[in-house]
Amino acid sequence: MENGAPTAKPVIVAIDGPSGTGKSSTSRAVAAQLGLSYLDTGAQYRAITWWMVTNGIDLEDPTAIAAVAGKPEIISGTDPAGPTITVDGVDVAGPIRTQEVTSSVSAVSAVPEVRTRITELQRSLAVAAERGIVVEGRDIGTTVLPDADLKIFLTASPEARAARRSGELKGADVNATREALIKRDAADSSRKTSPLAKAGDAVEVDTTELTLAQVIECVVTLVEEKRAGK
Ligand SMILES: Nc1ncnc2c1ncn2[C@@H]1O[C@H](COP(=O)(O)OP(=O)(O)O)[C@@H](O)[C@H]1O
Ligand SMILES: Nc1ccn([C@H]2C[C@H](O)[C@@H](COP(=O)(O)OP(=O)(O)O)O2)c(=O)n1
């Protein structure tokens, strides 16, 4: 297994794509295998959304969201063996996965002031990662880290994505999950500021018919080829 010599140039990997394509599981495993840091940017948008919900901010009012976007202190731990996320010192890893946060996150993350704030955090974490980092989200290759060494865009059919997600949410109806995913993708892809999009120089990987292990192997190989200068 290649762990990267301490003196090796840090490698920056951007992994984008819609919900349920395997971004988090793939990125975390690739980072662990290659000795890199790992950042789940969706968790950061969920964390700021959790703070807005908890503090009673009107989520239908982008001006109200923008006015307080700088208030919460969001800290992401980037060890792939145990990623963490806190807001004002509170561990929110569980609360950010509730249905309430999931259904509100697209509205909050569409507000430009929120994106500016979170993008700054992401860039500072990427610069600080000594060996390099795998950063996953929606706009990493296009906006956050346009000079990334490797950009991957994961896709999968809505059916496969819904089946994966409803497998996680025990008892969730697969059709309702599919509709909710499609709605969130549409909102994330159509917002004005930094929408979900494939960068022109990203490698697209359709994961519909691949196992998670196959996707991980594919991305590890692509990173190693980049490092070898191929
Ligand atoms: N290629 C795959 N085949 C089957 N299941 C997968 C695959 N990739 C990911 N999964 C599973 O699908 C679910 C969603 O994956 P996740 O990595 O959270 O996606 P994303 O971050 O893109 O929303 C997880 O339960 C994960 O284990
Ligand atoms: N780079 C990013 C990452 C996520 N977001 C927003 C849009 C997404 O619907 C939410 C939640 O992202 P997350 O990756 O946690 O979503 P799923 O794992 O697919 O459910 O955050 C974003 O706008 N930009």
Taking the domains of the chain in order of start, what are their residue ranges? 11-225
Measured between alpha carbons, how far is 181 from 56 in angstroms, rounded to an integer?
A: 25
Atom of ligand 1 nearest to the CA of 207: 1
ipTM of the complex in this document: 0.98
Q: CA 148 from chain center: how many Å? A: 15
Residue 42 Cα to ligand 2 middle (Å): 4
Q: Which residue numbers belong to the known binding site for ATP? A: 17-25
Superfamily of domain 11-225: P-loop containing nucleotide triphosphate hydrolases (3.40.50.300)
Contacts of 9 (CB under 8 A, 6+ apart): 132
pLDDT at 113: 98
Q: Which of 23, 25, 209, 214 to mutate to test the pocket of ligand 1 (most atoms within 8 A of CB)?
A: 25
Our answer on whether the CB atom of 49 is closer than 6 Å to any ligand 2 atom is no
Token couple for 216: 């991980």
With bands split at pLDDT 50, 70 and 90, how would you rate the model's confidence at 3? low
Q: Is 55 exposed, middle or buried (0-12, 13-18, 19+ CB in 10 A)?
A: exposed
More confident site: 175 or 204: 204
Q: Which residue numbers belong to the known binding site? A: 17-25
Q: What is the mean pLDDT of residues 188-193?
A: 95
Residue 22 Cα to ligand 1 middle (Å): 4
With bands split at pLDDT 50, 70 and 90, how would you rate the model's confidence at 33? very high
pLDDT in tens, 47-61: 999 999 999 999 999
Atom of ligand 2 nearest to the CA of 187: 9
Q: Is the pLDDT of residue 88 over 70?
A: yes
Atom 4, ligand 2: residue with shortest CA distance: 42
Our answer on whether the CB atom of 139 is closer than 6 Å to any ligand 2 atom is yes
Residue 41 Cα to ligand 2 middle (Å): 7
Contacts of 195 (CB under 8 A, 6+ apart): 138, 139, 188, 189
Q: Is the pLDDT of residue 7 over 70?
A: no
Atom 23, ligand 2: residue with shortest CA distance: 109
Q: Is the pLDDT of residue 4 over 80?
A: no
Residue 8 Cα to ligand 1 middle (Å): 30
pLDDT at 60: 96
Average pLDDT, the chain: 94
Our answer on whether the CB atom of 97 is closer than 6 Å to any ligand 2 atom is no
Q: Give the C-alpha distances (Å, rounded to integers) separating 91 from 74, 160, 201.
A: 10, 31, 36
**DSSP β-bridge partners for residue 150:** 13
pLDDT in tens, 113-136: 999 999 999 999 999 999 999 999
Token couple for 60: 């239908």
Atom of ligand 2 nearest to the CA of 45: 21
Atom 21, ligand 2: residue with shortest CA distance: 42
Contacts of 147 (CB under 8 A, 6+ apart): 12
Q: Is the pLDDT of residue 140 over 50?
A: yes
More confident site: 34 or 171: 34
Q: What is the mean pLDDT of residues 9-24?
A: 96
pLDDT at 173: 84
Give every strand in the sheet of 11-16, ordered side by side.
37-40, 132-137, 11-16, 150-155, 203-206
Q: What is the mean pLDDT of residues 181-191?
A: 94
The closest of 170, 191, 189 to 181, measured between CA atoms, is: 189
Q: Which of 16, 106, 164 to mutate to test the pocket of ligand 1 (most atoms within 8 A of CB)?
A: 164
What are phi and psi for residue 205, nearest 5 degrees? Answer: -125, 115
With bands split at pLDDT 50, 70 and 90, how would you rate the model's confidence at 1? very low
Beta pairing class for 132-137 and 37-40: parallel
Q: What percent of the chain clears pLDDT 70, i.e. is strictly above it?
A: 96
pLDDT at 107: 97
Alpha helices in 129-211 (DSSP H): 158-168, 174-190
Q: Is the pLDDT of residue 174 over 90?
A: no
